[in-house]
Amino acid sequence: MNYHVIYDGNCNLCVTLVQLLENLDQGRIFDYIPMQDEETLKTFCVTSQDCEMGMILIDAKFPERRWQGSDAAEEIGQLLPVGNMFISAYRAMPGVKWVGDRAYEQMRDNRYSWFGKRSSTYKSAYPVGCAATSSSH
């Protein structure tokens, strides 16, 4: 694993996107921490208040390198095969990044009312600290 993804494990949209990423990556690049796992977050000096600003991506080798919100989503996209091409095009179009940032903020702030809240926290098949396995979800 090279990067830790901190996501809202109670948000339907967030969990769906994590599951998509899990299927694409199979634990090769990313592992996952639900923001509800406060004990694990403490090891990365991440608070629940930090999580309110959106998903967080942490470089496992250099934990001081972090991205949050739409910047984290873009960085994840860049790390995926062929993703760099799409993210570069997205960032190159005038005004599109600004619109994307505002859209992310709206989704973040309205995620439960727009997409629903899970009755239990989703825990990834690729949790932080575990080597990639071929286990099913």
Report mean pLDDT in 10-residue bins for the chain, 137 residues: 93 96 93 95 94 96 95 93 85 92 96 97 88 44
Res 86: pLDDT = 87
Residue 103's domain comprises 3-115
Q: Is the separation of the CB atoms in 132 and 28 below 8 Å?
A: yes
Single pTM value for the model = 0.88
Per-residue pLDDT, 135: 42
Amino acid at 9: G
Q: Determine, yes or no, domain membership for 129.
A: no
| Confidence at residue 45, expressed as pLDDT on a 0 to 100 scale | 94
Give the per-residue pLDDT at 105. Answer: 96
Give domain status of residue 32, yes or no: yes
Q: What is the pLDDT of residue 52?
A: 92
- Domain annotation covers residue 72: yes
Asked if the structure places residue 125 within a domain, the reply is: no
Smallest CA-to-CA distance from 33 within 23, 17, 20, 18 is with 18
Euclidean distance between CA atoms 51 and 5, whole angstroms = 11
Q: Let me know: does 53 contact 73? Beta carbons within 8 Å.
A: no
* Token pair belonging to 123: 């825990």
In a domain, 71, yes or no: yes
Total domain count for the chain? Answer: 1
